[in-house]
């Protein structure tokens, strides 16, 4: 009976530690992706330097240049 308890504890506790570590890694990864996406959103759209660009900034610049 004693060897069965030792075997059970020697496999269960490391398995729980590994599972907890993997869960923490998943949540940390999701947090990093969320922070990256939030920073990307707050930075705004990427400007493409093109003559036919229709973004608001380019529209304002065209209006100022045309008068």
CA angle 48, 52, 57 (to 5 degrees): 60
Dihedral, 39, 43, 44, 46 alpha carbons, nearest 10:
-110
Number of domains in the chain: 1
User: 57 with 47: CB under 8 angstroms?
Assistant: yes
Centre a 10 Å sphere on the Cβ of residue 65 and count the other Cβ atoms it contains. 7
User: 15 with 23: CB under 8 angstroms?
Assistant: no
Is this structure's pTM higher than 0.75? no
Indicate whether 3 belongs to any domain: yes
Q: Which two tokens stand for residue 60?
A: 């304002």
Q: The domain containing residue 7 runs over which residues?
A: 1-44
pLDDT of 13:
93
**Is residue 45 predicted with pLDDT exceeding 80?**
no
Q: What is the pLDDT of residues 17-44, one digit of tens each?
A: 999 999 999 999 999 999 999 999 998 7
Indicate whether 51 belongs to any domain: no
pLDDT of 67:
66
Indicate whether 53 belongs to any domain: no
**Is residue 50 predicted with pLDDT exceeding 80?**
no
């Amino acid at each position: 009976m004693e060897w069965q308890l030792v075997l059970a504890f020697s496999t269960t506790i490391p398995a729980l530690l590994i599972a907890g570590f993997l869960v923490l890694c998943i949540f940390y990864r999701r947090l990093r992706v969320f922070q990256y996406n939030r920073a990307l959103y707050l930075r705004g759209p990427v400007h493409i330097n093109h003559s036919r660009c229709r973004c608001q900034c380019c529209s304002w610049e065209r209006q100022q240049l045309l008068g």
